[in-house]
Each structure stands twice: as C-alpha cells, then as structure tokens.
Amino acid sequence: MQTGPAKERYLLVTMTNEPFQPVRLYYAVPDPSFVIRKLTALRCMVEAPIERCWQWLYHAEAASLRFPAGGYDDVPKKKRPIVLGRIRFPEHEAMTLETNSFERAIAGARFFAPRLGLEVVAMRCRLVNRCFAADEGQPDKLMAMLDHDVTVIDPRVAEAAMRRELAGVRSVQDWNRAAAKSLERRLERQEDVPMVEDFPLAPEEETPDFQHLATTLQFRFIRVVEHWRGNTHLTLAAIIVRTVEQNMQDRGGHQGP
C-alpha cells in the first residue's frame, strides 16, 4: 500500500533567524540591587513585572549586535523591538539570563560582562540539546523545557575523572595522548549529552570575549543540527573528534614543502 509523502518539517527559528534553542546562563552576583541599578541605566532593558523579569530588547545599546543571519535592520519594523533575552533574580546573589538561541546567549554574555562589571560572574549554563519544528509549540512554552528532566553535571565528578585520565601525564605529548584516549573511550561507549543539560563554566579560564563558552555551545549546536537532519548516531564526542581531525587536515594541507 502506498502512503502519502512525509510531512515536511520546518525549523523553528527566532526573529533574527537563528534556530530556536533554549539556553540559560546562571550568574553569581554580589547584590541584585547593584545589578538592577545598572540595568535601569540601559535603554535596551525594560522591567516586565508580569513576567517578573527584565527584558533585554534589540534596541538602543543592543541594536549594533549582529547575528549570523542578519542584524537589527533585518527585523521587520512592525516587530521592533524584539526581546533578545530575559534577566531574572531567582534568589539572593543569583541572576539568570535566558535566551532562545545559543547565538543570543553568547552575545548576551559578551554584552553584559563589561556593563555589569567583574563581580557578576557566569557560573553555569543550562540548555536544551535539540532543535524544534515550527509546529511543536509556542516558544514561551518550549522554554519551560529548561526546568524539566534536567541532568546536572557535577564538576567534582568531572574533575575526579579528569585526574584519573591524566594521572602520570608529564608532557604536552602525554596530555594529547591522554585526551585522545579519553575521546576514544567516549566514542566506544557512545556517550552523549542529555536532552536538558546543566553544566559548570570555568570563569577563571574564560576569555574577555567568552570564547570558551562560545566553543562549548557551538559544538552542541552542531550536534543538534546533525540530529535534526537525521544523523542521530552522531554524539558530541564524535563531532569534536571529526572537527579536530578536519582542522589537522586543513593545517596539513596548507603547509609548505
């Protein structure tokens, strides 16, 4: 019996055309009132009492931000200003920045760091490791996935595993071999990231432009896009290995005689 053609799926994207993917950054703050005073001074920030948050608008100071698929001028005038993110203070000495794409999360980290100061520190990241079809629901409801079935990565467990794997390492060559073996073991076990992942950041190692955060999220984004395309066998570890190998080949291909 012949069936009809499969229904075509359309990717859910933001108003700035990034694939929709819920991301939340968790910050340590010295005093919420201190941060709120700084937010009040920004024209791109608006308090939204009903949502119990501060909306970060694509407006004023934020209007110069560019995203891979475009910038401020690409947003229809009747839709401006759109909301790029939401800042909340869930408890004392804590702040969150919630966005609906990984590109906005990176842009937010870079945007707020110099404006809020060194005492406001990004400590953790939580994200949903998947893309969504346009008919799966409204973005506001899909953002609620950030609080369901969360797998929290304990840094102490990761550090203990790292110490075991790097035991006896005395040189860069030994470190490279240990790192390669670690990735191989993950590939063999087909370890992958959970659907809703909450993992620690390393603020003491982060660069001023949040390159470590950007790389971490970009690798996960590559994975979710591959899964959206049907390549669900690809794990995060496999994608990292593939990228490293490709970079090595590219460098080798440009070497002189």
32-52, pLDDT tens digit by residue? 999 999 999 999 999 999 999
d(CA 204, CA 225): 30
How far apart are the two ends of the chain, measured CA to CA in Å? 61
d(CA 130, CA 213): 18
50-94, pLDDT tens digit by residue? 999 999 999 999 999 999 888 898 888 999 999 999 999 998 889
Coil/strand/helix, residue 243 = helix
Report the percentage of the chain scoring pLDDT > 90. 66
Instruction: Give me the mean pLDDT over the 184-194 stretch.
Output: 67
* Bridge partner list, 96: 26, 88
Tokens describing residue 25 = 């950054």
DSSP string, 164-203: HHTTT--SHHHHHHHHHHHHHHHHHHT----SEEEEE--T
* Bridge partner list, 47: 54
Report the percentage of the chain scoring pLDDT > 70. 80
* 179 pLDDT above the threshold of 70: no
pLDDT at 161: 58
Domain extent listing, the chain: 23-175+195-204
Residue type, 155: P
pLDDT at 176: 59
Q: Judge residue 102's burial from the number of C-beta atoms within 10 Å of its C-beta, 0-12 exposed, 13-18 middle, 19 or more buried.
A: buried
pLDDT at 154: 81
**What predicted TM-score, i.e. pTM, was given to this entire model?**
0.83
Tokens describing residue 39 = 């937010």
Coil/strand/helix, residue 1 = coil
pLDDT at 69: 80
205-220, pLDDT tens digit by residue? 999 999 999 999 999 9
218-233, pLDDT tens digit by residue? 999 999 999 999 999 9
247-257, pLDDT tens digit by residue? 777 666 544 44
pLDDT band at residue 185 under the 50/70/90 scheme: low
Tokens describing residue 160 = 């203990």
* 118 pLDDT above the threshold of 50: yes
Give exposure, 216-253, as e/b (b: 16+ Cβ within 10 Å).
Answer: bbeebbbbbbbbbeeeeebbbbbbbbeeeeeeeeeeee
Residue 60's φ and ψ, nearest 5 degrees, are 50, -120
Torsion angle defined by CA atoms of residues 103, 105, 106 and 112, in that order, rounded to the nearest 10 degrees: 140
